[in-house]
Amino acid sequence: MREISSNDAAAQLAEGSAIILDVREEPELLEAAVEGVLHIPMGEIPERLAELNPTDNIIVMCKLGGRSAMVCDFLTSQGFSNVANLVGGIYAWAEEVDPNVIKHG
Protein backbone atom coordinates (compact mmCIF):
# COMPACT_ATOMS: atom_id res chain seq x y z
CA MET A 1 0.00 0.00 0.00
CA ARG A 2 1.24 3.43 -0.92
CA GLU A 3 1.67 5.88 1.95
CA ILE A 4 1.86 9.67 1.83
CA SER A 5 2.91 12.33 4.33
CA SER A 6 0.51 15.04 5.42
CA ASN A 7 2.67 17.72 3.77
CA ASP A 8 2.58 15.92 0.41
CA ALA A 9 -1.16 15.29 0.78
CA ALA A 10 -1.78 18.96 1.56
CA ALA A 11 0.20 19.99 -1.53
CA GLN A 12 -1.76 17.61 -3.76
CA LEU A 13 -5.08 18.81 -2.30
CA ALA A 14 -4.09 22.44 -2.87
CA GLU A 15 -3.13 21.85 -6.51
CA GLY A 16 -6.26 19.79 -7.15
CA SER A 17 -4.40 16.63 -8.09
CA ALA A 18 -5.88 14.50 -5.29
CA ILE A 19 -9.04 13.90 -3.31
CA ILE A 20 -8.64 13.41 0.41
CA LEU A 21 -11.20 10.96 1.75
CA ASP A 22 -11.79 11.33 5.50
CA VAL A 23 -13.22 8.06 6.84
CA ARG A 24 -13.70 9.15 10.46
CA GLU A 25 -17.11 9.23 12.15
CA GLU A 26 -19.22 12.40 12.44
CA PRO A 27 -18.39 13.08 16.13
CA GLU A 28 -14.68 13.02 15.27
CA LEU A 29 -15.22 15.83 12.77
CA LEU A 30 -16.38 18.05 15.63
CA GLU A 31 -12.95 17.64 17.23
CA ALA A 32 -10.85 18.10 14.09
CA ALA A 33 -11.60 18.63 10.42
CA VAL A 34 -9.79 19.63 7.24
CA GLU A 35 -11.50 21.99 4.79
CA GLY A 36 -12.08 20.71 1.27
CA VAL A 37 -11.99 16.98 1.92
CA LEU A 38 -14.63 14.37 1.14
CA HIS A 39 -16.13 12.73 4.22
CA ILE A 40 -17.53 9.20 4.05
CA PRO A 41 -17.39 7.25 7.35
CA MET A 42 -15.54 3.94 7.05
CA GLY A 43 -18.68 1.88 7.63
CA GLU A 44 -20.47 3.59 4.74
CA ILE A 45 -17.72 3.11 2.12
CA PRO A 46 -19.13 -0.12 0.57
CA GLU A 47 -22.61 1.34 -0.01
CA ARG A 48 -21.27 4.71 -1.18
CA LEU A 49 -18.53 3.36 -3.45
CA ALA A 50 -20.25 4.83 -6.51
CA GLU A 51 -19.45 8.33 -5.17
CA LEU A 52 -15.76 7.64 -5.83
CA ASN A 53 -13.98 7.45 -9.18
CA PRO A 54 -11.65 4.41 -9.37
CA THR A 55 -9.12 6.36 -11.45
CA ASP A 56 -8.88 9.40 -9.14
CA ASN A 57 -5.86 9.95 -6.90
CA ILE A 58 -7.48 9.25 -3.52
CA ILE A 59 -5.68 9.87 -0.24
CA VAL A 60 -7.47 8.21 2.68
CA MET A 61 -7.33 9.81 6.13
CA CYS A 62 -8.53 8.81 9.59
CA LYS A 63 -7.41 9.67 13.12
CA LEU A 64 -4.02 7.93 13.15
CA GLY A 65 -3.81 5.81 10.00
CA GLY A 66 -5.24 2.41 10.95
CA ARG A 67 -8.77 2.69 9.60
CA SER A 68 -7.56 4.51 6.51
CA ALA A 69 -5.15 1.64 5.78
CA MET A 70 -8.07 -0.80 5.87
CA VAL A 71 -10.08 1.45 3.53
CA CYS A 72 -7.09 1.65 1.15
CA ASP A 73 -6.95 -2.15 1.05
CA PHE A 74 -10.70 -2.33 0.41
CA LEU A 75 -10.61 0.27 -2.36
CA THR A 76 -7.69 -1.51 -4.02
CA SER A 77 -9.64 -4.79 -3.89
CA GLN A 78 -12.51 -2.99 -5.64
CA GLY A 79 -10.32 -1.92 -8.57
CA PHE A 80 -9.19 1.51 -7.39
CA SER A 81 -5.75 1.99 -8.86
CA ASN A 82 -4.40 5.12 -7.17
CA VAL A 83 -5.00 5.14 -3.41
CA ALA A 84 -2.66 6.17 -0.62
CA ASN A 85 -2.82 6.08 3.16
CA LEU A 86 -2.17 9.36 4.98
CA VAL A 87 0.52 8.47 7.52
CA GLY A 88 -0.39 9.64 11.01
CA GLY A 89 -3.91 10.74 10.05
CA ILE A 90 -5.50 13.96 11.26
CA TYR A 91 -2.99 14.23 14.11
CA ALA A 92 -0.07 14.34 11.67
CA TRP A 93 -1.97 16.90 9.59
CA ALA A 94 -2.45 19.08 12.71
CA GLU A 95 1.21 18.75 13.66
CA GLU A 96 2.77 19.21 10.23
CA VAL A 97 0.28 21.21 8.12
CA ASP A 98 -2.29 23.15 10.14
CA PRO A 99 -2.60 23.15 13.95
CA ASN A 100 -5.95 24.91 13.60
CA VAL A 101 -7.71 21.73 12.44
CA ILE A 102 -7.90 20.67 16.08
CA LYS A 103 -10.82 22.53 17.62
CA HIS A 104 -10.26 23.61 21.20
CA GLY A 105 -12.86 24.60 23.65
pLDDT (tens digit per residue) in 32-87:
999 999 999 999 999 999 999 999 999 999 999 999 999 999 999 999 999 999 99
The active-site residue out of 10, 61, 62, 92 is: 62
Catalytic residue flag (residue 62)? yes
Global confidence as pTM: 0.95
For residue 104, what pLDDT is reported?
A: 63
Separation CA 46–CA 97 (nearest Å): 30
Alpha-carbon span 46 to 86, nearest angstrom: 20
Instruction: Round to whole Å and give the CA distance between 85 and 97.
Output: 16
Mean pLDDT within 16-31: 96
Q: Is residue 92 within 8 Å of 86, Cβ to Cβ?
A: yes
Low-confidence winner among 4-18, 34-48, 90-104 (lowest mean pLDDT): 90-104
Residue 93, number of CB atoms within 10 A of its CB: 25
